[in-house]
Structure 1
Amino acid sequence: MDDKLTESDGPARISRRTVLASGSVIASTTVFAGCLSGDDGGDGEDGGDGGSTTRVAIISSPAGFDDNAFNDNAVQGLEEASDEFDLEYSTVEETEESQYESVQADVAESDYDLIICVGDNHTDPLETNASEYPDQNWMLINNIVEGADNVSGWIEMNNEMSFLAGVAAGVMTQEDFEYEGSSTDPDGMTVGFVGGEDIPLINAFEQSYIEGVEWVNEDVEVLTGYGGSFSDTGATNDVAESQIDDGADIVWHAASAAGGGVFSAAQDNDRFALGVDVDQSVTEDQYQDVILGSAVKALNEATYTVSEAVVNGNFDEYVGEQNLSVEQGSIDFIVGQAFEDELPDALTQNIEDAKTGFENDEIDLSCGPTSC
């Protein structure tokens, strides 16, 4: 590929503001099971109980809130909706997947107009609860519930997002780049990937990242490893440290709250890292000097959209599979705030070429957005 920049005729891209996750809006709320009358379940026909305050609950993924990534970005959409509409929301933090079926049921008994379940981990329990509570509006992030007419299932094209991260890593490891003591090693051409839990979803992140790197240059080596959780920064730090010791000059993570361990490893070893889901050069600004950029998705737009639909009484329009993709302008790669106007044109060119490739169906990935 040449280094000449091209104009894109695709959809409007995500702005930095769009993908910020604000930890300050998170206020975890304990939800107790209560009596729920048959008329107050929020069936999407009356705009949130006949024009009264719309009540939304959001149940975390195993990473929990304050992850400066996936969960917080979902909550940000609710914060935006609460500013615009007569809407209030509660956060329900549950990090044990084994508890999801009972927690979902408890919240459904507590009279909410919409319950948002963050992450594919909620899928199996929701298949049961969507049937048990047919008048309850549900939103599921990262999967769908087949045949359910009360679930809005949002699948982010994580494979596209991961591919863009791979493109960025593949370009930058070939560049002779230095910033405030950190540097790349173009002679080594080695990058890393650190996942949280070793599960099909994160395996798809890994493989799509590798394919993005290889799309740029098949000779770049990709080191991979898993920390074992989405919250243990020490474990991801160990994996990233090992990869850096083995020559990786840029490491991307798909580890949610545990990703801070990757950033600290890069900072301590004068290398670089890439963020995930949101602009982590902002949400993890103590590491902004090493976060070259972030592969992002506008999940807040999805939670805002579905909340607005419940307020307006048109939730039914969003039942079934919904998507966030490059083609829709909802998946992108954003340069870190410390590196604006600092990175080479080759990065911009390759990212734009990759996005155009997705928009024109010219890139085939081995994995889907949730598994391989």
Structure 2
Amino acid sequence: SIVNGLNKAKTDFGIDLKLVDTGNRALDYQQQFENLAKGKQYDLIFVMGWELVDSLQKVSAEYPDQRFVFIDGVLDNPKMIYANFAEEQGSFVAGALAGMIEAKGTAFDKIGDGKAIGFVGGRDIPVIRNFLGGYEQGAKYAAPDVKVNSVFAGTFDDPAKGSELAQALYGQGSDIVYNVAGPTGEGVMQASAAVDKYSIGVDIDMCGSAPGNVLASMLKRGDIAVYTLIKDEVEGRKITAGTRTFDLASGGVEVKVCNDIAPKIPADVTAKLDEIKKGIVDGKIVIAKAK
């Protein structure tokens, strides 16, 4: 998604663009950043991936005049530019969708009478709590009778654990489970197919991971974030250190209902979702962020 945004900026604005695949050898990361920074030829260097943070911090300190943009997270470094996402807003919409579908009970395919939805988080850390908080608030807002059951895997790298936790949630009556667990979440998507219930994907479009069993995906639009920042820079609005949050209003987060599910979504649910999205954008619906 980010590469799409960079390529679109190259096409639209004629910028010079270099794409670097850092590989997976941690020893090489710092060297690669230094090679990019020391020539002073790049106005902005976009970086994504928590595994790169240590090297990025060192090189940022070494080259204080080089502007780095860290995507999808905020570090303890006031010199950097951060492109962050309002995951609590997207998750609120996802929770509202899941809650309203669950509230339909057996009138909706694959839904039982348990009045419960689930959440599998990777590690119990503030950013994942922020997803959960938004999801819970959205469900409560749109379907107050539906309960949210949440669990944390304690890891982002264990699909088998994700599957096991999701199957337990499905077994306890949660018919829809939101996966916010990185590679652990692949197991959640597989579990939804195994038991023929629903899952919700995160960050990218996961509809293809279990066709017919993925209700929607909560997308973080990295392409929109990088394109917007480059557009500002090119048009003379110089990007300075600090955090830019891409939200529902800017198109930075969105909930995409899967194409095979969309025709089954009742009109009243679609109408209510549109009303909720408008309420968030207008500031009428205020979502508490996790502490």
Superposition TM-score tier, normalisation by shorter sequence: 0.7 to 0.9
Aligned pairs for 1:47-86 within 5 A:
73-81=1-9, 85=14, 86=16
TM value normalised by structure 2: 0.85
Partner of 1:32: none
Cα displacement (A) at 1:202: 0.7
Partner of 1:89: 19
Q: Are residues 115 and 103 of structure 1, via their aligned partners in 2, closer, same or farther at CA, if it must alter by over 3 Å?
A: farther
Q: Confirm or deny that 1:134 pairs with 2:64.
A: yes
| RMSD, matched Cα | 2.7
Could you report, residue by residue, the CA deviation over 1:251-302 in whole angstroms, capped at 9, with x for unpaired residues? 0111123322111111110111111122221xxx141211111122211122
Partner of 2:141: 215
The aligned amino acid for 1:177 is: F
Distance 1:317 1:153 in 2: 10
Q: Are residues 81 and 329 of structure 1, via their aligned partners in 2, closer, same or farther at CA, if it must alter by over 3 Å?
A: closer
Whose helix fraction is larger, Structure 1's or Structure 2's?
2
The aligned amino acid for 1:277 is: D
Q: Confirm or deny that 1:107 pairs with 2:32.
A: yes
Partner of 2:111: 184
SS of residue paired to 1:210: helix
Q: Confirm or deny that 1:224 pairs with 2:150.
A: yes
The aligned amino acid for 1:78 is: L
SS of residue paired to 1:341: helix
8 Å contact from structure 1 (residues 333, 351) kept in 2: no
The aligned amino acid for 2:128 is: I
| Structure 2 alignment gaps of length 5 or more | none
Distance 2:24 2:136 in 1: 32
Partner of 1:322: 244
Partner of 2:127: 201
Partner of 1:48: none
Q: Are residues 198 and 161 of structure 1, via their aligned partners in 2, closer, same or farther at CA, if it must alter by over 3 Å?
A: same
8 Å contact from structure 1 (residues 193, 252) kept in 2: yes
Q: Are residues 169 and 320 of structure 1, via their aligned partners in 2, closer, same or farther at CA, if it must alter by over 3 Å?
A: same
Cα displacement (A) at 1:129: 4.0
Cα displacement (A) at 1:237: 0.6
Q: Are residues 124 and 358 of structure 1, via their aligned partners in 2, closer, same or farther at CA, if it must alter by over 3 Å?
A: farther
| Structure 1 alignment gaps of length 5 or more | 1-72
SS of residue paired to 1:350: helix
SS of residue paired to 1:110: helix
Distance 1:352 1:94 in 2: 42
Q: Are residues 320 and 216 of structure 1, via their aligned partners in 2, closer, same or farther at CA, if it must alter by over 3 Å?
A: same
Higher relative contact order (CA 8 A, sep 6+): 1
Q: Confirm or deny that 1:280 pairs with 2:211.
A: no
8 Å contact from structure 1 (residues 145, 320) kept in 2: no
For these two proteins, the number of residue pairs brought into alignment is 281
Cα displacement (A) at 1:243: 0.2
8 Å contact from structure 2 (residues 34, 59) kept in 1: no
Q: Are residues 199 and 109 of structure 1, via their aligned partners in 2, closer, same or farther at CA, if it must alter by over 3 Å?
A: same
Distance 1:343 1:364 in 2: 26
Give the alignment partner of residue 291 of structure 1, picking from 214, 229, 232. Answer: 214
Distance 1:81 1:250 in 2: 37
Distance 1:103 1:136 in 2: 19
Partner of 1:350: 272
Could you report, residue by residue, the CA deviation over 1:95-128 in whole angstroms, capped at 9, with x for unpaired residues? 9xxx6xx765333211253433325676677555
The aligned amino acid for 1:168 is: L
Deviates more, 1:139-148 or 1:349-358: 139-148
The alignment-based identity, stated in percent, is: 26
SS of residue paired to 1:169: helix
Give the alignment partner of residue 164 of structure 2, picking from 219, 231, 238. Answer: 238
TM value normalised by structure 1: 0.68
SS of residue paired to 2:65: coil
Distance 1:313 1:366 in 2: 34
Q: Confirm or deny that 1:301 pairs with 2:217.
A: no
The aligned amino acid for 1:74 is: I
Cα displacement (A) at 1:146: 5.7
Partner of 1:69: none
Partner of 1:64: none
